[in-house]
Structure 1
Amino acid sequence: MKTDQRSPAPFGRALCAMVTPFTESGALDLDGAQRLADRLVSAGCDGLVLSGTTGESPTTTDAEKAALVTAVREAVGERAALVAGVGTADTRHTVELALAAEKAGADGLLVVSPYYSRPPQDALEAHFREVADASGLPLLLYDIPGRTGTRIEPATVVRLADHPRIVAVKDCSYDLLGTQQVLSRTDLAYYAGCDEQVLALYAVGAVGCVSTVANVVPELFRSVLDSFDAGDTGRAALLQRRAVPLIEAMTSAALPGTVTAKALLGALGLPAGPVRAPLRAADRETTGTLLTAYEELVAGAGQLQV
């Protein structure tokens, strides 16, 4: 039943969609993942999403996904919630990954709509329920139709809200009305999955964000949320606007956020490494543009004491 209060944030408020660091030879870099995770949590992220879109889940193996959860848990302990991306195009495979993530120490599961096959809404609902029934972990539904080809329609989300382990939604639907329809009818915890919408969705009842940009500025959206909660909505809006050039450079350009995040992390001397094919590294000009946007944001945010 819907309450008048903002829903609790089951996985924290300021989450980072963390990249998966690789060595220069392309192997999983668990040491780098631990160092990056520790930095993100120490700088303000109270949750990390592993093996999501930004984490290159389509090109990491099942064993690598589980090893990543184990290593990051060792690095951050209980300082942050760990949400493991387990969604695939195959319900049976998704269940297997869910059980492995639970065993590895995840606190929750990020489950994207099955892609390519484009199941109708009743099949989509059955998929999510089967995954939710398979383990004891809470689910974060991942609605990103621009990548999967299938929207989790608001009516479907409302029905899924009756499952005790389906507790949240990562919203990349770009449907503000649809989001508000679900927020008005359920107590599901909504997370803004698009960096440019963090403040807008938080203002209408979301509980936080899952940010790609947080890989390089982990304190930024924590400050946006904190400012809003403190009643300083003007400062929250100013911080959100100050971030626009970097958001645009990282997520609205022709390259995927994985590519831009790793390019910028590498330029800053932070763990990232190469992307895996079919993705290709950003060129020097793009990396320079990213670095300029980052430096301008940091300089401006410093004046605001982010």
Structure 2
Amino acid sequence: MPTEISSPIQGSLVAIVTPMHADGALDLEALKKLIDWHVVSGTAAIVIVGTTGESPTVDVDEHALLIKTTVEHAAGRIKVIAGTGANSTKEAISLAAYAKSVGADASLSVVPYYNKPTQEGLYQHFRAIAEAVDLPVILYNVPGRTVADMATATTLRLAEVPGIVGIKDATGDVARGSDLIRRLRLLEKGSGKRFGIYSGNDDSALALMAMGSDGVISVTANVAPKLMADMCRLALAGDFAGARAVNDTLMPLHFDLFVEANPIPAKWVLARMGRCNAKTRLPMTPLSARFEPVLEAAMRHAALL
């Protein structure tokens, strides 16, 4: 029987970047320093090798090394969620099994991309992963990147599968997200199983927490971890006036960290802060010069400069 978790992780979970040297090699020392920064800043969990971590351009050995390094360096100080998604069910199971073997707390598994599975295919894919590996699975629906879109009805079916413990909703649709939260919470009343629900978009995170979600898997937390942690803490405590005040300082970052494809802007901001190199791997290119003043203005608004 797959492991269940008694309650979901709550707060600001960072979809952490993968630091690289100028030649494109992994910069594990910079990653360790980022992890330390998140620990002291109040981040609730590290999500390693997700989209923001450039999972499409790291090879299998690097993927495994990033998960292992993160778990070992976190050393129990902060939860680690390993990105283990793939558009091959067999590969996703293999990555999840590796994450389990090195001590990750959970996996984040994205809707299969490019091959456009049916809703039944999505159900069977995620159920197979949960049944094969004794590691809690958080689903990840991001149709803007995967094309395939997991329907609410499919999510509700999967929420009843042992071992599937949460979802990152990156549809960007607040009304749809609110309805998903409502329906999942109703399902919980019958099953007694607590299901974690996370916004996958920083700009809608506060709205979804007001509707009862558990937090955000965040890009903005890469560059403003304490502010994101504070905003989530206030919202989860019901202090929405306080949460709005913090979120107002972050809103330009929520938008402008996507002036070009993620994680190009986030890495540029981190480099501007002296935290890591701005290097990304092709087909990601350096930030266009015209966006540098835009990001600097967002940084100033959040008092990062």
What TM-score comes out, normalization by structure 2 length?
0.91
In the other structure, the counterpart of 2:45 is: 47
Which residue of the partner structure matches residue 3 of structure 1?
A: none
Q: Which residue of 1 aligns with 2:115?
A: 117
* Residues 149-186 of structure 1: per-residue CA shift (max 9 Å, x gap): 11111111111111121000011122234423334334
Per the TM alignment, residue 74 of structure 1 is displaced from its structure 2 partner at its CA by: 2.5
Q: Which runs of 5 or more residues in structure 1 are unaligned?
A: 1-6, 301-306
**Corresponding residue for 1:227?**
234
1:153 aligns with 2:151: yes
The 1:231/1:177 distance shift into structure 2, 3 A limit, reads closer
- Whether the 8 Å CA contact 2:9–2:214 is kept in 1: the answer is no
Residues 112, 146 of structure 2: 8 Å contact kept: yes
When residues 156 and 231 of structure 1 are mapped into structure 2, their CA distance, relative to the original with a 3 A threshold, is closer
Partner of residue 177, structure 2:
176
Instruction: Give the match for residue 143 of structure 1.
Output: 141
Instruction: Provide closer, same or farther for how the CA distance between residues 165 and 244 of structure 1 changes in structure 2, counting only shifts above 3 A.
Output: same
Cα distance change, pair 109–160 in 1 and its aligned pair in 2 (3 A): same
Identity %: 34
TM-score by length of 1: 0.90
Instruction: Tell me the amino acid that sits aligned with residue 179 of structure 1.
Output: L
- What is the CA–CA distance in structure 1 between the aligned matches of 2:243 and 2:178, rounded to whole Å? 22
Preserved contact between residue 14 and residue 208 of structure 1 (Cα < 8 Å): yes
Q: Which residue type is aligned with residue 92 of structure 1? A: K
Unaligned runs of 5+ in 2: 189-193
CA distance in 1, matches of 2:51, 2:186: 28
Letter in 2 for 1:37: I
TM-superposed CA distance for 1:8, in Å, is 6.4
Alignment of 1:138-287 (within 5 A): 138-173=136-171, 174=173, 175-180=176-181, 181-186=183-188, 187-251=194-258, 253=259, 255-287=260-292
The partner residue of 1:89 within 84, 87, 90 is 87
Give distance in 1, aligned partners of 2:18 and 2:7: 24
Q: Distance in 1 between matches of 2:290 and 2:80?
A: 34
Paired amino acid for 2:276: P
Instruction: Report deviation, 1:9.
Output: 4.8
Between the two proteins, the alignment pairs up a number of residues equal to 292
